[in-house]
């Protein structure tokens, strides 16, 4: 499945159910298809200095995106119009 992450479809229907307003909160329904999650992880991991690992906030089964400490953070000068 070829997924274009730059042009997501307009959401139809109800907002997902969550555990509340606290941060972090958990989404309880309406999860994206596994192939979209896999593609998102693939794209994120392709960024320079980015790797995935266990979340320090969510449940152990979930993954987080991290950046290597030596990778510089983006600044407003980093962003260029396309």
- Sign of CA pseudo-dihedral 58, 48, 38, 32: positive
Which one, of 79, 52, 47, lies nearest residue 63 by Cα? 52
Confidence of residue 80 (pLDDT cuts 50, 70, 90): low
pTM to 2 decimal places: 0.56
Which one, of 49, 45, 34, 48, lies nearest residue 3 by Cα? 34
What integer pLDDT is reported at residue 35 of this predicted model? 93
Q: How many CB atoms lie within 10 A of CB 38?
A: 13
27-78 pLDDT tens trace: 899 888 999 988 988 988 888 888 888 888 777 777 888 888 887 776 666 5
Q: What is the rounded distance in angstroms from the CA atom of residue 49 to the CA atom of residue 62?
A: 20
**Domain spans of the chain, in order of start:** 34-67
Q: E strands within the chain?
A: 50-54, 63-67
What integer pLDDT is reported at residue 39 of this predicted model? 92
5-26 pLDDT tens trace: 788 788 789 989 998 887 778 8
């Amino acid at each position: 499945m070829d997924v274009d992450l730059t042009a997501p479809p307009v959401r139809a229907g109800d907002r997902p159910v969550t555990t509340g307003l606290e941060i972090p909160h958990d989404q309880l329904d309406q999860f994206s298809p596994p192939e979209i999650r896999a593609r998102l992880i693939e794209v994120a991991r392709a960024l320079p200095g980015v790797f995935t690992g266990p979340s320090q906030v969510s449940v152990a089964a979930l993954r987080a995106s991290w950046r290597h400490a030596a990778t510089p953070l983006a600044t407003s000068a980093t962003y260029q119009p396309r």
